Structure 1
Amino acid sequence: MTKLDLVYQDLKQKIDTGVYATDTLLPSENALASLYGASRDTIRKALAKLRDQGFIQSQKGRGSVVINRQQYVFPVSGVISYKELSQRLNFKTTTTMIENTQMPLPIANFKAVDPHAKPCTTTRLVRLREVNGEPVIIDIDYINGDVVPAISKAVAEDSLYAYFEGQLHLTIAYAKKEITVEPATAQDQQLLHLDANASVVVVKSVTSLEDTTAFQYTESRHRADRFRFQEFARRA
């Protein structure tokens, strides 16, 4: 294990165990360099990794502040499976399949994302995502039956993308997304343990293959109090 990894892992453990509590400052870069016998460059890289993982926030003139990990940072752009994302962010997650049925694609639900959607029969999957034992997302997927004929419970609770790419050898190319805030439905309230007046963040996406075939229509319903979406943009 490199010095960078040792510093990162030790700081992460101290944050996880409350040695460095939420809203408190980490020691300065100089103090950390002295503590770990490391260069300031190594300390900066370890702190950058902690920032990327959502453990700290840099504040000009103050230093690195430990932030509330109860809000999980999910990127908006990119085409990545939930399993891949949870592994990247070191989340402890479980997925439970609630429904697996066949039905026509509800074109009207995705009109804003894909105005050219065509009628097709789909597999409708409803899955509940939990992070650290807390229900936080309901994923509702409509998978084109002409592309993917059937999806087992084991696949639905593991990784659709691993199945699509690893077993069906599909080449997933891109996705279009729309983000809105909506009142929680009765199902949201029940599965996500929300009050009747709560809101959810809804991310609708249409994922296409390399040949431009739109084959996966997804509506992800997120607990608004547990998620923040983050994007990086550079001025041209």
Structure 2
Amino acid sequence: MAVKYIQIAADLANKIKHEQYAAGDFLPSEPTLSQLYNVSRETIRKALTELADAGLIQKIQGKGSVVINAARIAFPVSNIESFDELNKQKQMHAATKIIELTDARVPFTISKHLSLTETAATYVKRLRLINHEPIVVDEDYILKKYVPQISPQQAQSSLYHYFEHDLGLEIDYATKTITVEPASASVIKQLQLTNTNLVVVVRSLTYLKDTSFFQYTISQHRPDKFKFVDFAHRKNKNGGLIL
């Protein structure tokens, strides 16, 4: 059973979705929500943080939480999270369609850059949909050295659950680059792009805890539906945080 603040966040998200709270409206105050859901203000704050992280509200100091345009779904840049995990967290009503699942080699530019000696990989190309609308095309190259095989069922659900819980891999960090590029004809068709031929491309190199590279991902996003969020501290000239 989901913890209370997750249940409250899901209920508020559903009300926002059905425009009980429309874009530009302020949600009830924390004390009012606390009474409405019969929970502490701390629980309400956690629920509101979930909504803010999902890109549904903006907290304004001294005023409260205002509903913002939910047409764009916020994707974290700094975290390593699977689409399945994001779907569960953000209540996106998402689905996955496998386009291709085959043996391949890590692209030469990547294998050369990383000086890889073993490049045998499984190539997985998937179309991600939210509310039946195509949103992102994911392409993954997963080294067979660490993941010998991937079934259609595993590719359909959560690869990271398979990697971590079934294979015991310890996924630790990733480097990411984000660019805006012209889409190929096939991606234009898959994402049903009509007003633009541009996509937001996120390329990720993912590593295990022992610093071994094991996955290369290319995610191509519809620019009208996704935004990317990050959290950053400004450092002083001595390398410490400015507080």
With the shorter chain as reference, the TM-score category is 0.7 to 0.9
**Counterparts of 1:8 and 1:85, CA distance in 2:** 14
Task: Check the 8 A contact 2:10/2:91 in 1, yes or no.
Answer: no
> Taking structure 2 as the reference length, what is the TM-score of the superposition?
0.82
Is 1:144 the counterpart of 2:146? The answer is no
Q: Which residue of 1 aligns with 2:157?
A: 158
Distance apart, 1:24 and its partner CA: 2.4
- The letter of the residue matching 1:189 is I
**Counterparts of 2:195 and 2:183, CA distance in 1:** 7
Distance apart, 1:133 and its partner CA: 1.4
Deviations 1:93-117 (A, max 9, x none): 1111101122221132x47xx8224
Is 1:96 the counterpart of 2:97? The answer is yes
**Counterparts of 2:3 and 2:140, CA distance in 1:** 42
Task: Check the 8 A contact 2:53/2:74 in 1, yes or no.
Answer: no
Distance apart, 1:171 and its partner CA: 2.0
Query: Identity across aligned pairs (percent)?
Result: 45
**Counterparts of 2:75 and 2:15, CA distance in 1:** 23
**Counterparts of 2:39 and 2:164, CA distance in 1:** 42
**Counterparts of 1:128 and 1:213, CA distance in 2:** 28
Task: Check the 8 A contact 2:99/2:127 in 1, yes or no.
Answer: yes
- Listed as ranges, the matches of 1:187-202 within 5 Å are 187-195=186-194, 197-202=196-201
- The letter of the residue matching 2:51 is L
Unpaired runs of at least 5, structure 1: none
- Listed as ranges, the matches of 1:159-178 within 5 Å are 159-178=158-177
Task: Check the 8 A contact 1:99/1:125 in 2, yes or no.
Answer: yes
**Counterparts of 1:38 and 1:81, CA distance in 2:** 31
Task: Check the 8 A contact 1:22/1:66 in 2, yes or no.
Answer: yes
Task: Check the 8 A contact 1:140/1:220 in 2, yes or no.
Answer: yes
> Taking structure 1 as the reference length, what is the TM-score of the superposition?
0.85
Distance apart, 1:154 and its partner CA: 0.5
**Counterparts of 1:82 and 1:229, CA distance in 2:** 14
- The letter of the residue matching 2:91 is N
RMSD: 2.8
Task: Check the 8 A contact 2:76/2:230 in 1, yes or no.
Answer: yes
Unpaired runs of at least 5, structure 2: 235-240
